[in-house]
Structure 1
Amino acid sequence: MATLYDRSFDASKTSLEVVNIESDTVSSNILIKFNCGEHHLDFKFLVLRSDLIMLHTLILNNWDELLEAEVWDSTDPSFSFAILANNSDLIDEQIYQFQFWIDAGEYNSHRATRSGIGITIYQDRKSIEQFALQIKKEFD
């Protein structure tokens, strides 16, 4: 299981979990868990394994391009994610918003609405990169 905890997890109990249920050479049946306080949402669906590996590759090898592009969409329909710099004068450390959502198209068979349900995790770059490494390990 790959887990990304929010920077203030002790207070918020906010996290994102990606679990590999079953895989073959082309696709993976995954479970996505959004946790926020006492609330939990679970989604099971099929994705291309190459999309999960791409998520890992983009985070580790193309960080600056991800920040410029803002949104990365997996193969239609499935999931999307974005990494945005969260600038603050209150802290010295650079914090990022890692936004991850299940596209409504997963259930509606199209992405025309560009809507879905997701979660935002506030975290430093190293923790987001560790999450990407966990995903690679989970799906290798």
Structure 2
Amino acid sequence: RLSLVFFDIDNFKDFNSIHGHSTGNAVLVSVVDRVRGCVRGIDLFARYGGEEFVIVLPETPPGEAATIAERVRSTIESLTVPSPGNDTRLSVTVSVGVSSLGSGYADFQGMLEAANTAERRAKETGRNRVVAAESFTGSTR
């Protein structure tokens, strides 16, 4: 089985616009460092664009993929980065979508689109959560 995790840093534009691009860069580096500790040697973790990332999970059934996605979400939720100019720390969260090949998706592109749609659903329903594409129907299949 092949599964995919697609996630986006919540409110990332605020890190850049309010706290400066150096803070935004620190958030990106910190997120990458944390996620590296969540993935296995066989997984492929990559920046998809901007503040979006994907993790390709070979040999991973849907339930295990959801567990990995939740581990990524909770690991990042515990992350804070220093706020420039004062002693406060900024919280970081992510919205996560997960999908699996063979769960109604004929190819990798379909699986990627489904995970992206699930990630958007996570944002729309409150952010800082994991949504499995298989948990809803419609344009994701």
TM-score normalised over the length of structure 2? 0.31
Using CA pairs below 8 Å that are at least 6 residues apart, which structure has the higher relative contact order? 2
More strand by share: 1
TM-score normalised over the length of structure 1? 0.31
More helix by share: 2
